[in-house]
């Protein structure tokens, strides 16, 4: 290797012969730069050593192989914010051997770290953010251009609840353009459980990576994230997950875009408990002629998804192209899906009582039979909050049921006490002026979150503002509905709250 100015570990007694314990020599080299920072040079050779770095401004480089691990163990400052502790470390060029017993790089209380062009081989966890009960004990990591070979986990963010009032333990990680592969295809062999496993992260960009699984029998999911905020998974190549290519749970602000996903056994994309989501432009494929009981995109328990499933190509899913369960406020548009054997349904919407404001428009579903119009969730009657239109082949343009049947009621008897329990659409056609003084009989503390639309055909509907746990805009004694007007209510947190109306307050 070319000469690099810095503390060369050979000059401090390191042998690099793969036999001697070089830990003390590495520590001496580190001590020489510990006060002001500097470069630690690891030349060709195999070094049996563990490195612990506790200071800022350290650069580790070389072409040597470290048969050990690197510990980035900083010191927090008094305010323990995301720039607290120790920072500015770069690690590049070296190879780290985990010997199937160690992690590659362990992190706590460090920010501003660049890890690039490193080869991780046989590590339990290549890069491990340790369990620390503080908010963002590590932040601003760029992990790019590395090779991860036969590692159980690539990036692992461990979690315990912060005791300082925060929510997320690690912040702002960029994991991009890495190659992750298994060279072992023998059942029971070591390597590859999750490529990324992260809980409690605020800010993750996962972009341009290639993730291969082996066939050891331990493989699960390419990318698993939980309890997060602002995650972007874009332009990755994700192969052969036994469970899901991407699994995202309990988070805010999620973008899954332009990924190539091949042959996941259960779900291409699995989403649960998400607020603010975009699933766009992904290619999700299964092998033609292989009957895998899989679903392309699955969303559950997300009543405020408030996002789009758009422009995805979904080829040969075994069950559904798209499935929605207990989730609302979703636009499904511009997708292209093709059935494996001309069976099942392109879109399945479960639990219509809690799937509202779902639109399915301008999609192309091919090789699906006419019988896929399952009467459990389709109807020939239009619905104001859920609709199905402009889609071609296999499924004609008919409105989707979603909120019909028991979820729709028309009130015509001028009763002042009504019950909108479990409804998502209530139509009032009163013949004389009536003030509603009771709106529901349900136990709001036990109700699933949902959107309720109230529509008045006539100008005779009034709702009292004195109804307990009902919060309506304005200050007068009651709300007067004009003819052909509507109001949108949110049932959430033991209350019914007005969101919007199409007439003035």
Helix (H, G, I), strand (E, B) or coil at 91: strand
> Sorting pLDDT into bands at 50, 70 and 90, what band is 288?
low
Give the residue, 389 or 214, on which the prediction is more confident: 214
Query: What is the number of alpha carbons within 13 Å of residue 351 lying toward its C-beta?
Result: 17
Nearest CA to 76 among 101, 108, 49? 108
Q: Percentage of the chain with pLDDT > 90?
A: 60
Give the residue, 288 or 480, on which the prediction is more confident: 480
What is the sign of the dihedral through the CA atoms of 206, 212, 216 and 222?
Answer: positive
Q: Exposure of 306 by Cβ count < 10 A (0-12 exposed, 13-18 middle, 19+ buried)?
A: middle
Q: Between the CA of residue 279 and those of 194, 253, 391, 423, 481, what are the distances in Å? A: 21, 11, 19, 28, 38
Q: Give the tens place of pLDDT for each residue, 305-339.
A: 999 999 999 998 888 899 999 999 999 999 998 88
pLDDT of residue 382: 30
> Sorting pLDDT into bands at 50, 70 and 90, what band is 394?
very low
CB 398 within 8 A of CB 377: no
Mean pLDDT of 389-406: 40
Separation of alpha carbons 373 and 493, rounded Å: 35
Q: Give the tens place of pLDDT for each residue, 16-47.
A: 999 999 999 999 999 998 778 899 999 999 99
pLDDT of residue 379: 29
Q: Percentage of the chain with pLDDT > 70?
A: 88
pLDDT(294) > 80? yes
Mean pLDDT of 235-263: 95
Q: Give the tens place of pLDDT for each residue, 182-222.
A: 887 788 888 889 999 999 999 999 999 999 998 888 999 99
Q: Give the number of residues written for the chain.
A: 505
pLDDT(396) > 70? no
Average pLDDT, the chain: 86
Q: Exposure of 469 by Cβ count < 10 A (0-12 exposed, 13-18 middle, 19+ buried)?
A: middle
Separation of alpha carbons 420 and 453, rounded Å: 10
Q: Between the CA of residue 135 and those of 76, 139, 170, 200, 229, what are the distances in Å? A: 11, 10, 7, 9, 13
Separation of alpha carbons 440 and 88, rounded Å: 59
Which among 172-186, 354-368, 442-456 has the top mean pLDDT? 172-186
pLDDT of residue 373: 43
Mean pLDDT of 134-150: 94
What is the sign of the dihedral through the CA atoms of 312, 196, 194 and 99?
Answer: positive
**Residue spans of beta strands (DSSP E) within 219-373:** 221-234, 237-239, 244-257, 260-262, 267-280, 283-285, 295-302, 307-310, 313-315, 320-327, 330-333, 336-338, 345-349, 358-361, 364-366
> Sorting pLDDT into bands at 50, 70 and 90, what band is 404?
very low
pLDDT of residue 431: 87
Residue 265 is given by DSSP the state S
pLDDT of residue 365: 82
pLDDT of residue 342: 60
Mean pLDDT of 158-170: 91
pLDDT of residue 81: 56
Rounded to a whole number of angstroms, the distance between the first and last alpha carbons of the chain is: 75
CB 422 within 8 A of CB 442: yes
Mean pLDDT of 389-410: 46
Separation of alpha carbons 146 and 143, rounded Å: 7
Largest CA distance in the chain: 97
Mean pLDDT of 158-162: 95
Q: Exposure of 184 by Cβ count < 10 A (0-12 exposed, 13-18 middle, 19+ buried)?
A: middle
Mean pLDDT of 61-66: 97
pLDDT of residue 4: 60
């Amino acid at each position: 290797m070319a000469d690099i100015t810095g503390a060369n570990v050979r000059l401090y007694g390191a042998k690099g012969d793969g036999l001697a314990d070089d830990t003390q020599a590495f520590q001496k080299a580190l001590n020489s730069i510990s006060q002001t920072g500097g470069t630690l040079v690891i030349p060709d050779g195999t070094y049996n050593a563990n490195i612990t770095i506790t200071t800022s401004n350290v650069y580790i480089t070389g072409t040597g192989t470290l048969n050990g691990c690197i510990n980035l163990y900083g010191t927090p400052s008094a305010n323990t914010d995301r720039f607290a502790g120790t920072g500015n470390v770069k690690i590049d060029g070296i190879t780290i051997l985990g010997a199937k017993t160690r992690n590659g790089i362990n992190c706590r209380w460090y920010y501003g770290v660049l890890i690039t062009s490193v080869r991780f081989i046989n590590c339990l966890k290549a890069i491990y953010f340790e369990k620390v009960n503080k908010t963002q004990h590590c932040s601003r990591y760029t992990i790019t251009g590395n090779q991860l070979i036969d590692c159980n986990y690539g990036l692992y963010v461990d979690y315990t609840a912060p005791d300082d009032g925060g929510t997320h333990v690690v912040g702002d990680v960029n994991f991009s353009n890495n190659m992750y592969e298994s060279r072992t295809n023998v059942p029971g062999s070591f390597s590859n459980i999750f490529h990324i496993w992260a809980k409690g992260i605020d800010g993750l960009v996962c972009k341009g990576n290639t993730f291969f699984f082996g066939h050891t029998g331990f493989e699960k999911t390419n990318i698993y994230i939980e309890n997060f905020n602002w995650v972007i998974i874009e332009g990755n190549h994700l192969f052969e997950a036994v469970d899901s290519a991407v699994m995202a749970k309990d988070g805010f602000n999620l973008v899954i875009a332009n990924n190539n996903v091949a042959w996941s056994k259960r779900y291409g994309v699995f989403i649960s408990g998400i607020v603010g989501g975009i699933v766009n432009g992904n290619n999700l494929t299964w092998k033609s002629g292989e009957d895998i009981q899989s679903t392309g995109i699955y969303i559950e328990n997300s009543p405020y998804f408030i996002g789009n499933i758009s422009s995805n190509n979904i080829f040969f899913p075994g069950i559904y192209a798209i499935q929605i369960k207990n989730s609302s406020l979703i636009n499904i548009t511009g997708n292209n899906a093709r059935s494996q054997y001309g069976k099942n349904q392109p879109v399945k919407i479960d639990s219509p009582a809690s799937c509202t404001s779902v639109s399915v428009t301008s999609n192309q579903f091919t090789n699906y039979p006419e019988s896929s119009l399952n009467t459990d969730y389709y109807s020939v009657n239009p619905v104001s909050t859920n609709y199905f239109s402009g889609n071609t082949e296999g499924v004609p343009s008919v409105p989707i049921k979603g909120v019909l049947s028991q979820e729709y009621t028309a009130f015509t008897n001028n009763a002042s006490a009504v019950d909108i329990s479990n409804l998502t659409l209530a139509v009032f056609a009163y013949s004389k002026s009536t003030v509603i003084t009771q709106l529901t009989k349900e136990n709001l503390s036990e109700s699933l979150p949902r959107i309720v639309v109230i529509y008045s055909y006539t100008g005779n509907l009034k709702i009292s503002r004195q109804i307990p746990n009902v919060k309506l805009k304005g200050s007068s004694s009651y709300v007067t509905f004009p003819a052909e007007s509507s109001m949108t209510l949110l049932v959430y947190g033991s209350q019914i709250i007005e969101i919007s109306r199409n007439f003035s307050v």
